[in-house]
Amino acid sequence: MDNLRVFATVLIVAVIAILSLFQMQLRGFEKIGRMEEWVLYIEKDEECFSITELIYTDEDNNYYLPCEMSHLYVVKSGFEEKELIFALEENLISIEDLELLIDLIIEEK
């Protein structure tokens, strides 16, 4: 009986570990790439609006997404998830790293 409990406990822990590895894919997100300890995901199968969206500004440039879609991007580190604009504002990710992963429109001020 004790062996059965140990086996069941190990099985449950293994299932939880496997599900945690694939949780973003199960929720409908696609992995784009890694930026330091953060991973960028985008929600799959969403329509792109034709309006550009300002996501970041510095002393020299304004950075835009080609569509109004910042709400579709999520950055994740472990179990912590942040929206793209919040992660940029809080310096969790850099605009330079983001430029390497997605197409941005850069406009000089």
pLDDT for 90:
94
CB 53, CB 64: distance < 8 Å: yes
pLDDT of residue 26: 57
Domain presence at residue 54? yes
Which pLDDT does position 36 carry in this prediction? 79
- Which residues have CB under 8 Å from 69's CB, separation 6+? 46, 48, 49, 53
Q: For every one of its 109 residues, what pLDDT tens digit does the chain have, with 9 covering 90 and above?
A: 688 898 889 998 888 877 766 666 657 788 888 887 899 999 876 677 678 999 999 999 999 998 888 989 999 988 789 999 999 999 999 999 999 999 999 999 8
By CB atoms closer than 10 A (0-12, 13-18, 19+), residue 41 is buried
Structural domain of 64: 28-108
Task: Indicate whether 22 belongs to any domain.
Answer: no
Domain assignment present for 3? no
Query: How many domains are there within the chain?
Result: 1
